[in-house]
Amino acid sequence: MWIIPSIFIQDGKCVHVSYGDKTSSTPFDVDPVEQAKKWADLGADRLHIVQLGPNAASQNAATYSKNNDVLGKIVDEVSHYLPLQIAGGIKTMASIESYLDMGFDYVVVGSAGVKDPHFMNDACSAFNGQVILGLDARDGKVVTDSWSKVTKFDAISIAQRLTDEGIDSIIYTDMGPNGDMTELNYEATINFAQNVDVPVLACGDIDQVSRFKEIKTLVDYGVDGIILGKCLDKGNYSLQDAIDIVDSIND
């Protein structure tokens, strides 16, 4: 089980984002590069980086110019120590290739992959093992466009269909029936993981370190890692606390 801190970047700065509303962000006074170095130094298994921008519908990574310098510096500083994955507005083969060329190990494709399975198939074929499907759900239904649109499509069915298209792994975020889930949705994540045939990374905060003991069930059903957000910045527990508990479960 991997513990994967996330860093959301907007206009070159770290921001906090509430699950269910990527359009609303709160800056906080931490340099993104220093934040990445901190998580690497503390033993994170991987980093999940999400770039946000005012032009969120853009299909070209170059339009996020205020973020690009920061992303490049993060790669330069920490990519030798742990794998990096990038997400946020990735809709073209050119965008995927540009991030991989920059030095990211994995690229997360979200809404574009759900809307166009053939694109997902092409991406997985061209960049074998380096493209991850980002699948967001609300009450079991797929959510797209920065969590703003709830579709009629069942998340498990979409995952199974895209698995047939060649995806190797899925990041799954379930926001609960009302779209306001603030913590990892254990029940929905377990149900999802046991119904798909590829490794799953669960996404959602865990506010109390004691709840990490519950993740053994996630491991049993094929969840390979947990992507954590602002819960690590609150100070209720440290990254090392989480790693120690997970290591004891892995043993």
Q: Please name which of 202, 207, 215 lies closest in space to residue 175, comparing C-alpha atoms.
A: 202
Positive or negative: CA dihedral 138, 143, 148, 150: negative
Integer CA distances (angstroms), 153 to 87, 106, 121, in order: 22, 26, 19
CA 115 – CA 59 distance, rounded (Å): 14
- Provide CB contacts within 8 A for 91, sequence distance 6+: 59, 109, 111, 112
Amino acid present at 186: Y
Which of 45, 136, 139, 164 is labelled catalytic?
136
175 phi/psi in degrees, rounded to 5: -100, 10
To the nearest 10°, report the CA torsion of 192, 195, 199, 201.
0
Q: Is 136 a catalytic residue?
A: yes
Give the active site residues: 136
